[in-house]
Structure 1
């Protein structure tokens, strides 16, 4: 048995529901539910909200770049963008340098919805992490970045 395996097993203290996997699953499910409600309060599905947040940070990017950054299937991205475009939150246009490429840009209306979504998600994070210091939040972020999962894992690729 490796040293890490001993440390992980010993941390549970014998209570199987205190194992890290169960704790992460429970807290992750609560966080996911709260974030979904936060996006929903702004009229956004979670993936649409994530797409808007990404575009809000960079202004515009290629449709394939969005697929890669959000690690979703291209057909799913088309559906997300169709919904966002129908709501006039983003616009797609052909790249003048390469007519096969679509550039996606957030609209002024999209920026307004994005501001609401960011405020709602910030409120969720304050509720979840309000008892942690900024240093503890940074440490948690660093530790979670090292947990061995990938976007290709089954749960991450579900609709």
Structure 2
């Protein structure tokens, strides 16, 4: 298999428990360490997404919030749970989006302690543009994968444990 642009092809599979000459487990090179590959590709993907969103002035974190709200209004607490972020981080994200008239927060008439967050018309239009920009990045990144391979990758990545053992309340340790 020839190397693809932007990375190198992995053509050899080396089991982690393959013994070396002295019978001890052989060292596995960084090109065979899944965590290092994910970190490298994640960094590259993040940079490409940030570049694609530059003209919108919206960060990937803001785009994720808008995408979560695109299905309809949600309580601020539920939104924070979906995103796996601390309430103070969520407030900062929502303040920035509200300042740009992309989201609106209001008190729940049934429970004045609760805030309802909803996407505005401008936010919905921005979410459509952002989704298309991210789609173009994905098409470029995964051009060499079949639809079935993309589905498999999505399924596998959904099962990767990203919760840090020291995280409070078992929430995902994520940068969104």
Q: Could you say which TM-score interval applies, normalised by the shorter chain?
A: 0.7 to 0.9
Q: Is the 8 A contact 1:8 1:20 kept in 2?
A: no
> Is residue 52 of structure 1 aligned with residue 66 of structure 2?
yes
Corresponding residue for residue 3 of structure 1: none
TM-score (norm: length of structure 1): 0.84
Mean CA deviation greater in 19-28 or 144-153: 144-153
The 3 A distance-change label for structure 1 pair 125 and 9 is: farther
Corresponding residue for residue 114 of structure 1: 127
Aligned Cα RMSD in Å?
2.5
1:6-33 per-position Cα deviation (integer Å, ceiling 9, x unaligned) = 83456x9953333222211111111111
> Is residue 20 of structure 1 aligned with residue 34 of structure 2?
yes
Mean CA deviation greater in 92-101 or 39-48: 39-48
Could you tell me which runs of 5 or more consecutive residues in structure 2 were left unpaired when the two chains were aligned: 1-13, 19-25
- State the 1:76 CA deviation: 0.8
Structure showing greater Rg: 2
Question: d(CA) in 2 for partners of 1:74 and 1:101?
Answer: 13
The 3 A distance-change label for structure 1 pair 16 and 9 is: farther
Could you tell me which runs of 5 or more consecutive residues in structure 1 were left unpaired when the two chains were aligned: 1-5
Question: d(CA) in 2 for partners of 1:137 and 1:115?
Answer: 22
Question: d(CA) in 1 for partners of 2:93 and 2:121?
Answer: 18
Q: How many residues align?
A: 151
Q: Is the 8 A contact 1:9 1:19 kept in 2?
A: no
Question: d(CA) in 2 for partners of 1:54 and 1:115?
Answer: 12
4+ residue segments displaced more than 6 Å = none
**Aligned pairs (5 A) from 1:42-121:** 42-56=56-70, 58-121=71-134
> Is residue 7 of structure 1 aligned with residue 20 of structure 2?
no
Mean CA deviation greater in 40-49 or 80-89: 40-49
Q: Is the 8 A contact 2:162 2:173 kept in 1?
A: no
The 3 A distance-change label for structure 1 pair 126 and 157 is: closer
